[in-house]
Structure 1
Amino acid sequence: MNKLTQHIVPYRFWPSTLIRRWIERRSGGEVISGPFLGMKYVKTSVCSEYEPKLLGTYELELNTVFKQLISHEFQTIVDVGAAEGYYAVGLARQYTDCHVIAFEANEHGRELLEQMALLNGVRDRMRIRGFCDAKSLAGALLDSGRTLVIMDVEGGEKLLLDPVMVPELLDAHIIVEIHDFVDSELGKLILHRFKDSHHIQDISIKERSLNDYPFEIPALAEMLFRNALLNAISEMRHHNSRWFYMMPRDSRG
């Protein structure tokens, strides 16, 4: 929709608004598909796109990793950059015997995270904390047992994923979004730091299509709202986005 049309057509009738409301109705307030199917969700998201989380297609590139991790009996999950809790709460639902430590610097994000944890009955196993630095990460990992670390901190991984400062990382499973567009040497640096201690899987971003929707789109809706449908499932990521899944070399799982 061009800018002139936006001034004429009320917001509630914009294609993007109609598609969002359609997805919200389809979801019924729960994640529709993916590893966190059935998770109850709050009505907004923080620092990321909302609709892909309801659809269950958020970071779908990682779905195979989470399938691999099903067999692991984690005692602690540490989510750094937890936002409203897609991973922190989703994984707490999956790993019912683990404790989750969720770091989120944004105050509104922490409020939503609290709501999400209560909605899904996992608040008693979750500790919600604010900004994470190397010292607080090391504290979270101390005596944590079998641990999964998830990290999305917009380039902050350069300071946090340092096994000299945080030696407990050497024994942890780690899923981290690498922000090479913030620092072109970031990926190389993380690979160098963990090449001896971890098997590292480099996972590239995948362009979304209408085939990624977890349900069939009516032909008329596809014809009238194709662009809005694509925008709704898109996560608006930088084209250089990627993730590392790092598994400790001595892991038996």
Structure 2
Amino acid sequence: MRVVRSEGRNKMAKLVEALEKAIVKLRRKRVSRRLFERNGGEVRYGPFKGLKLSTGAHTSAGNLGAKTCGLYEDGVIAEIMSMGPYQDVVNFGAGDGYFSLGVLVAGVAERSICFELNATGREVVERNAKINGLSDRVLIFGAADDETGPTLAGVGFDPSRALVLCDIDGGEFPVLTEKLLSDLQGATLIVELHDKLIAGGESLREELINRLPDGAQHRILKSAPPDWRDIPEIEEMTDYDRALASTDGRKLLGEWLIVTYEDPGV
């Protein structure tokens, strides 16, 4: 009898926990959408200030508000700004174009080259590029693969003057092959890592690092809470909503592999 009661309590506890998580996610999306609408879908703070975003991509609605306040992955944005400027920014997993177009608005890149597997995502990037008057500076392709290097070479891509961003939810490990990394040699890379979310993914990070070309230097960037001070839209919220509005909503700590090459002129 005690075993049956214990199993019943465990099931109830798991059900309550699942409901709590679902409610938190719903509240986060509600707060995010309200913030996005209040800002008219426009980034109001940070380096990407002035970037206009539409909805409809397959990216999380829970991040929309943080994007308009310049808080979404602000540590990555800081890295981009500190290491630029670039001739090209290549984005594997362009999503809604937040980074692909943001770098153009920020004046840290001359051209953006987007690779996006999802057709809806490509349509949204194209729409957002048009909204921001950037269509003539944006190229949009499908999924990245081993033919991406030749594709980039065909549009005048110079790795030594480029940044490559990669956020493809675990796809970074099969996509960033030795061949593709060789084709990208000389470019700065920022790769969001998802190995800890993949079953049996313990060795994937090390294997990726071991595939980096000779001369590549690497380090790991870890996410940290954003600084929302002096952003009125966030300051006016309750503590609970403020936390929900400014979080990326990750299951685990965000980590990015940053790959650089020594400047040959140094």
Q: What is the TM-score with the length of structure 1 in the denominator?
A: 0.80
Aligned-pair CA distance for 1:217:
5.8
Write the mapping of 1:206-225 to structure 2, written as runs, cut at 5 A: 206-207=224-225, 211-212=227-228, 215-216=231-232, 221-222=237-238
- Alignment partners' CA distance in 2, 1:141 and 1:242: 29
Unaligned stretches of 5+ residues in structure 1? 8-13
Please tell me whether residue 136 in structure 1 is matched to residue 154 in structure 2. no
Write the mapping of 1:189-204 to structure 2, written as runs, cut at 5 A: 189-194=207-212, 196-204=214-222
2:13 alignment counterpart: none
2:176 alignment counterpart: 161
1:34 alignment counterpart: 46
Write the mapping of 1:80-91 to structure 2, written as runs, cut at 5 A: 80-91=92-103
Percent identity over the alignment? 26
- Alignment partners' CA distance in 2, 1:21 and 1:180: 30
CA spacing shift, 1:87–1:135, aligned 2, 3 Å:
same
Return 80-89 or 165-174, whichever deviates more.
Answer: 165-174
2:80 alignment counterpart: 66
- Alignment partners' CA distance in 1, 2:108 and 2:80: 15
Unaligned stretches of 5+ residues in structure 2? 1-16
- Which amino acid is the alignment partner of residue 245 of structure 1? I
- Alignment partners' CA distance in 1, 2:248 and 2:29: 16
Write the mapping of 1:40-55 to structure 2, written as runs, cut at 5 A: 40-48=52-60, 49-55=63-69
Bigger Rg over Cα:
2
SS in 1 for 2:45: coil
SS in 2 for 1:43: coil
SS in 2 for 1:194: coil
Once the two structures are superposed, what CA deviation does each residue of 1:189-248 show, in whole Å capped at 9, x if it has no partner? 22222274222231012245xx536514687741xxx32332222212231430022111
2:202 alignment counterpart: 184
Please tell me whether residue 19 in structure 1 is matched to residue 31 in structure 2. yes
Aligned-pair CA distance for 1:140:
1.6
1:31/1:53 contact within 8 Å kept: yes
- Alignment partners' CA distance in 1, 2:192 and 2:254: 7
Of the three residues 217, 227, 249, the one matched with 1:236 is 249
Of the three residues 129, 151, 165, the one matched with 2:166 is 151
- Alignment partners' CA distance in 2, 1:95 and 1:105: 26
1:246 alignment counterpart: 259
Q: How many residues align?
A: 238
Q: What is the TM-score with the length of structure 2 in the denominator?
A: 0.77
SS in 2 for 1:76: strand
Aligned-pair CA distance for 1:252:
4.8
1:33/1:214 contact within 8 Å kept: no
- Which amino acid is the alignment partner of residue 231 of structure 2? F
Return 185-194 or 82-91, whichever deviates more.
Answer: 185-194
Return 54-63 or 211-220, whichever deviates more.
Answer: 211-220
- Alignment partners' CA distance in 2, 1:15 and 1:236: 12
1:57/1:213 contact within 8 Å kept: no
SS in 2 for 1:134: coil
Return 82-91 or 153-162, whichever deviates more.
Answer: 153-162
